């Protein structure tokens, strides 16, 4: 009986989780301005850099430019939860049987879906803009690297979301995280300025995969593991902070 009840509870939690994921995703799809910003911002840099620099320089910079998009999702997630607070949605949800962890995970998963769509669009548009891809480029790795950056960025966004109370402050404060990750991580230069940042690791891995066609685990594997570990730690810290700050709900 206990196992049956446990199974029923798990099934209910999964149902609640996916219901909220779909709800959040549909809500984001209606926010056309945010989607345009999320997709348009990195595409703008790809377009501008393709015009401003010659082919050889653009070839070196392009891998970093593909990392700019996933980092912007920090602002998107923080603003999402801040807006939910402002509208009172989180307060209403916490009075229902839905757990706070389910609420947080639904926000993460819905943003991860948006981030996945963004990555696919960016890779396609990069090819349209003439970004160089090695003839033997590994397509799965080309997707996995920015995907891991998206996951890690969501960890940063969740930490920020645990402190802010309005969508306007969330959007502004997020850039104090986004810009250092982008500029110090080498998104707009030929090499990272700080080696241990997740964006630095991602840019190095993208350069190896895109420019040199590298698929060796010895070259990119450690970078991917470190990015993933950073993301897991960030998400755990964000979840703990969000759950402890009961006053913000």
Closest CA to 150 of 186, 114, 125, 185: 114
**Does residue 94 surpass a pLDDT of 70?**
no
Average pLDDT rounded to a whole number, residues 147-157: 93
**What is the structure's pLDDT at 194?**
86
Q: State the Cα–Cα distance between residues 89 and 153, nearest whole angstrom.
A: 24
Q: Which residue has the tokens 């990750």?
A: 181
Average pLDDT rounded to a whole number, residues 129-135: 87
Residue 8 buriedness (CB in 10 A; 0-12 / 13-18 / 19+): exposed
Q: Residue 131: enclosing H or E segment and its boundaries?
A: none
Average pLDDT rounded to a whole number, residues 191-207: 89
Q: Which of 14-28, 32-46, 81-95, 102-116 has the lowest mean pLDDT?
A: 81-95
Q: Could you tell me the residue ranges of all domains in the chain? A: 2-248
Predicted confidence band of residue 246 (pLDDT cuts 50, 70, 90): very low
**Does residue 86 surpass a pLDDT of 60?**
yes
Task: Tell me the whole-structure pTM to 2 decimals.
Answer: 0.85
**What is the structure's pLDDT at 103?**
77
Residue 32: CB partners within 8 Å, gap ≥ 6? none
Predicted confidence band of residue 202 (pLDDT cuts 50, 70, 90): very high
Average pLDDT rounded to a whole number, residues 139-158: 92
**Does residue 127 surpass a pLDDT of 60?**
yes
pLDDT higher at 77 or 180: 180
Q: Which of 156-160, 185-189, 225-229 has the highest mean pLDDT?
A: 225-229
pLDDT higher at 29 or 151: 151
**Does residue 2 surpass a pLDDT of 60?**
no
pLDDT digits (tens, 9 = 90+) for 184-195: 998 888 778 888
Residue 128: CB partners within 8 Å, gap ≥ 6? none
pLDDT higher at 166 or 185: 185
Mean of all residue pLDDT scores within the chain? 81
């Amino acid at each position: 009986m206990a196992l049956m009840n446990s199974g029923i509870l798990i099934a209910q939690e999964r149902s609640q989780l996916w219901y909220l994921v779909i709800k959040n995703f549909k809500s984001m799809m209606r926010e056309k301005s945010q989607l345009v910003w999320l997709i348009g911002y990195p595409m703008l840099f790809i377009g501008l850099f393709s015009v401003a620099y010659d082919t050889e320089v653009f070839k070196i910079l392009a891998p970093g430019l593909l990392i700019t998009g996933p980092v912007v999702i920090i602002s998107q997630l923080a603003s999402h939860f801040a807006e939910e607070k402002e509208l009172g949605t989180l307060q209403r949800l916490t009075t229902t049987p839905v757990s706070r962890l389910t609420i947080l995970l639904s926000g993460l998963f819905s943003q991860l879906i948006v981030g996945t769509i963004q990555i696919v669009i960016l890779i396609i548009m990069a090819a349209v803009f003439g970004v160089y891809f090695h003839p033997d480029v590994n397509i799965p790795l080309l997707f996995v690297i920015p995907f891991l950056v998206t996951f890690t960025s969501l960890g940063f966004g969740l930490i920020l979301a645990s402190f802010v109370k309005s969508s306007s402050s969330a959007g502004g404060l997020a850039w104090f995280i986004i810009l250092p990750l982008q500029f110090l991580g080498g998104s707009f230069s030929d090499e990272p300025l700080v080696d241990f940042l997740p964006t630095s690791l991602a840019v190095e891995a993208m350069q190896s995969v895109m420019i040199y066609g590298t698929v060796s685990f010895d070259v990119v594997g450690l970078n991917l593991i470190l990015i993933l570990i950073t993301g897991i730690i960030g998400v755990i810290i964000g979840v703990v902070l969000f759950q402890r700050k009961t006053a913000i709900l």
